[in-house]
Amino acid sequence: QHYFIQSNLRVNEMSSQGLLRAIIIGPPGSGKGTISDRIVKAFKLHHISSGDILRQHIRNKTELGLEARKFTSDGLLVPDHLVTKLMLSELHGIQDRSWLFDGFPRTVAQARDLEQNYKIDSVLNLDVPFSTIVDRISKRWIHGGSGRTYNLDFNPPSVAGKDDVTGEDLIQREDDKPESVKKRLELYAEVTAPILDYYSGQGKVKSFTGTETNVIWPHIQDFLHEKIGKSDL
């Protein structure tokens, strides 16, 4: 099932002149959230996160949210056509703004439905080595009672394995253990590869390779300067 608004196609194509419609893709732990925040601040793009939108609709018990909850409550993925409806619903009031999709599209079917309505200009792909991400996340430890977070490289506890405030033992979340991180990254690669192939075939993917956000960011900034002009930084 495909969801699109054919009558809006010409309007959206014309209104996109001088605007940027972009997608950011990156594995968990790649710094995607930080980079998205910097893009929003520097270039005034409207950031649209699929996870945020889904939670908002479910929380507000909208028609689409109630429909989505039927799947999420059973631990199932929300179907492509419903995800597309949710995301396109966010674009109706911002026809004259540049925007950045985060977490959408996740499948080629979603990408095709999106392009029935909006022309995508660029896909920003954060190419951070998986080994770097596993090392970074697996060094994260927390104090269970307070949620205080430590990183063995950047913010280590004063006493190894102990919370600075209470002296209690630190724990590592299951999701932060190396094997769990590797599984999440393998799933990411499996899901994302078709999307990257789809947009690469259109010449729209720009990859940024590096191990640190502060190293990758200037290259993204230069690229966006060329696309949409001077930023506020």
**140 carries an active-site annotation:** yes
**Tokens linked to 29:** 């732990």
Q: Which of 21, 32, 85, 136 is catalytic?
A: 32
Please state, in angstroms and as integers, the Cα–Cα distance from residue 36 to each residue in 9, 197, 220, following that order: 27, 22, 10
Q: Which of 21, 85, 136, 140 is catalytic?
A: 140
**184 carries an active-site annotation:** yes
- Phi first, then psi: give them for residue 103, nearest 5 degrees: 90, 5
CA distance 10 to 117: 9
- DSSP letter string over 99-125? EEEES---SHHHHHHHHTT----EEEE
**32 carries an active-site annotation:** yes
Q: Which of 184, 204, 206, 227 is catalytic?
A: 184
Q: Which of 41, 44, 173, 183 is catalytic?
A: 173
**136 carries an active-site annotation:** no
Q: Which of 21, 85, 106, 136 is catalytic?
A: 106
**Tokens linked to 117:** 């309505």
8-state DSSP, 158: S
> How far apart are the two ends of the chain, measured CA to CA in Å?
43
Task: Judge if the upstream peptide bond of residue 28 is cis by omega within 30 degrees of 0.
Answer: no
Write out the catalytic residue numbers: 32, 106, 140, 173, 184
